[in-house]
């Protein structure tokens, strides 16, 4: 992989390889996905880049967040219109393992929790699910996303932190049931086995024992979907794969995931030189998770986020510049927050506003929009590989309008082909040249 290059005049730039296809790529229909070395591909072998949002359904009400605010079809349409092609839809284990809880309807669950306002909102916006049991309401959300050609990753999450009552056997049973329920649902393309493993009980030996059993159970119940494995320590640490991979009976279906949030790095971004901090954080990322790409495994950054109020939060700004740079250079698959899921909270880390009616921060959406399409991978090999100069602070690329006018920032799709040496950049086949001293 290439290294990063920083320029004070443009805040932060990253140069990375890309390929421009000879023809316009067509929208990918959600069918079975596979892996090809570090890439996720479709049945024809073409790269499918997952650019997802996380949508919460695992909290105590067991009702997908936002359905008291807007019709689910309107939310699904908004997700697609923002350029996301995938939703990481959370679910709690007891959704499919506790029959007494699972038999409750959406209305009954909200009544038991005293959520009268939510009942009224769901009745008004999504009346078709108000008297459905949890799993039927969850299936309706998946179907709504599928109608907008949005893929779904079923992501098992915990409703109560700490895993005090966790049973590995019950968990595997739940994974198998969930995979069976969605067998044959074309837009369900993957299952993430467990989010953010944490606490004093986590250890590498149990991880291998349980995750291998869980992966086999999911694949047996639904061989079409990707099996996604998370790491230890809040899904930040996959370093144990340096010495030992999982031993599975199936191939071409395994993906790893990792979380990288700015707050996990403390106040380093605020107190240190951002370029130096970024260098350290990228080195750490590659050491504990990013090395999997070089080993030939797909890696999904399953959570990244920043405060989108528009204030000058130095920690968030520096972290996001760094993250977007590495996400661009490595052309990572990723998933961003949609909403946090706390009842009544004005969630500033998600791209939708409090009422679920529009985009919270258009500037942030622009910054990540360039990363929603693939730069590299199978299916783009018929194009000429070249360099782009990406500006993470804006999500734009360096463009040349003419030989006599200054360089400007614009859509990365409009960029000409740059070539790079340690001494200079130049536009391929042209005398235009940039040099640095």
Q: Is 159 helix (H, G, I), strand (E, B) or coil?
A: coil
The answer to the question of residue 291 being in a domain is: yes
Q: Show the DSSP H helices in 222-375 as ranges.
A: 268-271, 274-285, 291-294, 314-330, 362-369
At 7-30, the pLDDT tens digits run: 322 344 666 666 644 433 444 444
The answer to the question of residue 6 being in a domain is: no
The answer to the question of residue 376 being in a domain is: yes
Taking the alpha carbons at both ends of the chain, their separation in whole angstroms is: 24
Q: Show the DSSP H helices in 25-133 as ranges.
A: 72-81, 94-97, 99-102, 106-112, 116-125
Q: In this structure, what token pair is assigned to residue 100?
A: 């007494």
Total count of domains within the chain: 1
Q: Using 50, 70 and 90 to split pLDDT, how confident is the model at 339?
A: very low
The answer to the question of residue 107 being in a domain is: yes
The answer to the question of residue 396 being in a domain is: no
CATH for 251: 3.20.20.80
Domain that holds residue 130: 27-383
Q: Using 50, 70 and 90 to split pLDDT, how confident is the model at 386?
A: confident
pLDDT at residue 388, as a whole number: 87
d(Cα 55, Cα 159) in Å, to the nearest integer? 14
Nearest to 433 by CA among 416, 412, 419: 419
At 173-186, the pLDDT tens digits run: 999 999 999 999 99
pLDDT at residue 311, as a whole number: 57
At 389-428, the pLDDT tens digits run: 899 999 999 998 777 788 899 999 888 888 777 767 777 6
The answer to the question of residue 126 being in a domain is: yes
Residue 389 β-bridge partners? 15
At 140-153, the pLDDT tens digits run: 999 999 999 999 99
Residue 112, C-beta contacts closer than 8 angstroms, at least 6 positions apart: 104
Give yes or no for residue 196 having a pLDDT over 80.
no
Give yes or no for residue 336 having a pLDDT over 90.
no
Q: What is the value of pTM for the model shown?
A: 0.89
Q: In this structure, what token pair is assigned to residue 435?
A: 């040099």
Ranges 196-200, 253-257, 414-418: which has the least confidence: 196-200
Q: Is 200 exposed, middle or buried (0-12, 13-18, 19+ CB in 10 A)?
A: exposed
The answer to the question of residue 15 being in a domain is: no
The length of the chain in residues reads: 437
Ranges 6-15, 192-201, 273-282, 364-373: which has the least confidence: 6-15
pLDDT at residue 9, as a whole number: 29
Give yes or no for residue 248 having a pLDDT over 80.
yes
The answer to the question of residue 434 being in a domain is: no
Distance of CA 323 to the CA centre of its chain: 13
Q: Residue 204 CB: number of other CB atoms within 10 A? A: 14
């Amino acid at each position: 992989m290439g290294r990063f290059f920083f320029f004070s005049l443009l805040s932060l730039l990253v140069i990375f390889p890309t390929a421009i296809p000879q023809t316009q790529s067509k929208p990918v229909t959600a069918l079975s996905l596979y892996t090809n070395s570090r890439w996720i591909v479709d049945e024809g072998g073409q790269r499918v880049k997952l650019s997802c949002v996380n949508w919460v359904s695992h909290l105590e009400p067991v009702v997908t967040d936002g359905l008291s605010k807007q019709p689910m079809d309107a939310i699904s349409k908004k997700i697609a219109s923002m350029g996301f092609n995938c939703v990481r839809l959370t679910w709690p284990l007891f959704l499919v393992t506790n029959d007494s809880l699972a038999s409750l309807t959406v209305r009954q669950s909200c009544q038991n929790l005293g959520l009268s306002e939510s009942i009224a909102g769901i009745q008004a916006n999504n009346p078709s699910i108000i008297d459905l049991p949890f799993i039927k309401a969850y299936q309706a959300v998946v179907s709504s996303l599928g109608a907008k050609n949005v893929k779904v990753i079923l992501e098992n999450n915990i409703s109560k932190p700490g895993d005090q009552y966790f049973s590995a056997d019950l968990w595997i049973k739940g994974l198998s049931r969930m995979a069976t329920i969605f067998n044959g649902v074309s837009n369900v393309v993957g299952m993430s086995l467990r989010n953010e493993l944490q606490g004093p009980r986590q250890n590498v030996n149990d991880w291998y024992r349980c995750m291998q059993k869980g992966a086999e159970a999911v694949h047996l119940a639904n061989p079409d979907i990707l099996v996604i494995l998370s790491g230890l320590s809040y899904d930040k640490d996959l370093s144990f794969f340096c010495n030992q991979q999982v031993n599975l009976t199936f191939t071409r279906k395994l993906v790893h995931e990792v979380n990288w949030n700015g707050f996990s790095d403390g106040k380093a971004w605020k107190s240190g030189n951002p370029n130096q901090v970024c260098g350290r954080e990228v080195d750490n990322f590659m050491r504990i998770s990013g090395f999997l790409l070089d080993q030939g495994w797909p890696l999904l950054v399953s959570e990244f986020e920043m405060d989108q109020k528009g204030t000058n939060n130095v920690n968030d700004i520096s972290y996001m510049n760094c993250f977007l740079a590495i996400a661009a250079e490595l052309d990572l698959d990723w998933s961003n927050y949609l909403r946090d899921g706390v009842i009544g909270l004005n969630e500033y880390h998600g791209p939708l506003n409090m009422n679920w009616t529009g985009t919270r921060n258009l500037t942030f959406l622009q910054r990540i929009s360039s990363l929603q399409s693939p730069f590299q991978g199978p299916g783009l090999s018929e194009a000429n590989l070249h360099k782009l100069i990406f500006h993470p602070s804006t999500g734009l690329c360096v463009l040349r309008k003419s030989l006599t006018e200054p360089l400007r920032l614009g859509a990365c799709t409009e960029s000409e082909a740059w070539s790079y040496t340690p001494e200079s950049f130049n536009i391929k086949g042209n005398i235009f040249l940039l040099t640095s001293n």
